[in-house]
Structure 1
Amino acid sequence: MKGIVFDFNGTMFQDSDLHELAWIHMIKQYAKENIAEQEILLNIHGRTNDEIIKKFISADLSAGEVAILGMEKEKNYRMLCLQDEQRVVLTKGLAEVLDTLKCAEMPMTIATATTKENVDFYFERFQLSQWFDYDKVVFDDGTFPGKPEPDIFLKAVKNIAILPENCLVFEDSYSGILAASKAKIGQIIAVDNTGANKELFSNPVLNISYTIKDFTTFQL
Structure 2
Amino acid sequence: MTYKGIIFDFNGTLIWDTMLHKKAWQAFARKAGIDFTEKQYYNDIHGRSTRDIFEILYSRRIEDDELARLSYQKEDLYRKACLDNPEIYCLAPGVEDFLDHIAESGIPRTIATASEKMNVDFFVDTLMLDRWFEPELFVYDDGSMAIKPEPDLYLKASERLNVQPEELVVVEDTYFGVLSAIRAGAGYIIVTGPAEDQHEELNNLEGIDLFISDFAGIDRNLFSS
TM-score bracket for this pair, using the shorter chain length? over 0.9
- Following the alignment from structure 2 to structure 1, what is the Cα–Cα distance between the partners of residues 202 and 63? 36
Alignment-mate amino acid for residue 12 of structure 1:
L
Following TM superposition, by how much is the alpha carbon of 1:115 offset from its aligned partner in structure 2, in angstroms? Answer: 1.2
What's the counterpart of residue 217 of structure 1? Answer: 217
Q: What is the RMSD of the two structures over their aligned residues, measured on CA atoms?
A: 1.6
Secondary structure at 2:189 match in 1: strand
CA deviation string 1:100-128 (max 9, x = no partner)? 10111100000111111111111111111
Following TM superposition, by how much is the alpha carbon of 1:148 offset from its aligned partner in structure 2, in angstroms? Answer: 0.9
Secondary structure at 1:122 match in 2: helix
What's the counterpart of residue 223 of structure 2? Answer: none
What's the counterpart of residue 15 of structure 1? Answer: 17
Q: How does 1:168-207 map to 2 (within 5 A)?
A: 168-197=169-198, 199-205=200-206, 207=207
Gaps of 5+ in 2: 221-225
What's the counterpart of residue 88 of structure 2? Answer: 87
CA deviation string 1:16-58 (max 9, x = no partner)? 1111121233234336x64434213312222221111122124
Residues paired across the two proteins, number: 218
- Following the alignment from structure 1 to structure 2, what is the Cα–Cα distance between the partners of residues 212 and 120? 27
**Contact 2:165–2:186 (Cα < 8 Å) also in 1:** yes
**Contact 2:5–2:168 (Cα < 8 Å) also in 1:** yes
Identity %: 36
Q: From the superposition, tell whether residues 57 and 212 of structure 1 become closer, same or farther in structure 2 (CA, over 3 Å).
A: same
Q: From the superposition, tell whether residues 153 and 194 of structure 1 become closer, same or farther in structure 2 (CA, over 3 Å).
A: same
What's the counterpart of residue 145 of structure 1? Answer: 146
Following TM superposition, by how much is the alpha carbon of 1:204 offset from its aligned partner in structure 2, in angstroms? Answer: 4.1
- Following the alignment from structure 1 to structure 2, what is the Cα–Cα distance between the partners of residues 107 and 158? 11
Secondary structure at 1:86 match in 2: coil
**Contact 2:16–2:193 (Cα < 8 Å) also in 1:** no
Alignment-mate amino acid for residue 125 of structure 2:
E
- Following the alignment from structure 1 to structure 2, what is the Cα–Cα distance between the partners of residues 19 and 96? 26
Following TM superposition, by how much is the alpha carbon of 1:95 offset from its aligned partner in structure 2, in angstroms? Answer: 0.7
Alignment-mate amino acid for residue 46 of structure 2:
H
CA deviation string 1:55-95 (max 9, x = no partner)? 21242332101110001100000101111223322111111
Alignment-mate amino acid for residue 203 of structure 1:
N
Q: From the superposition, tell whether residues 88 and 61 of structure 1 become closer, same or farther in structure 2 (CA, over 3 Å).
A: closer
**Contact 1:195–1:213 (Cα < 8 Å) also in 2:** no
- Following the alignment from structure 2 to structure 1, what is the Cα–Cα distance between the partners of residues 35 and 73? 20
Pick which of 126-135 and 52-61 moved more: 52-61
Pick which of 80-89 and 178-187 moved more: 80-89
Gaps of 5+ in 1: none
Following TM superposition, by how much is the alpha carbon of 1:134 offset from its aligned partner in structure 2, in angstroms? Answer: 0.8
Q: How does 1:98-117 map to 2 (within 5 A)?
A: 98-117=99-118
- Following the alignment from structure 1 to structure 2, what is the Cα–Cα distance between the partners of residues 135 and 189? 24
Superposition TM-score, scaled by structure 2 size: 0.91
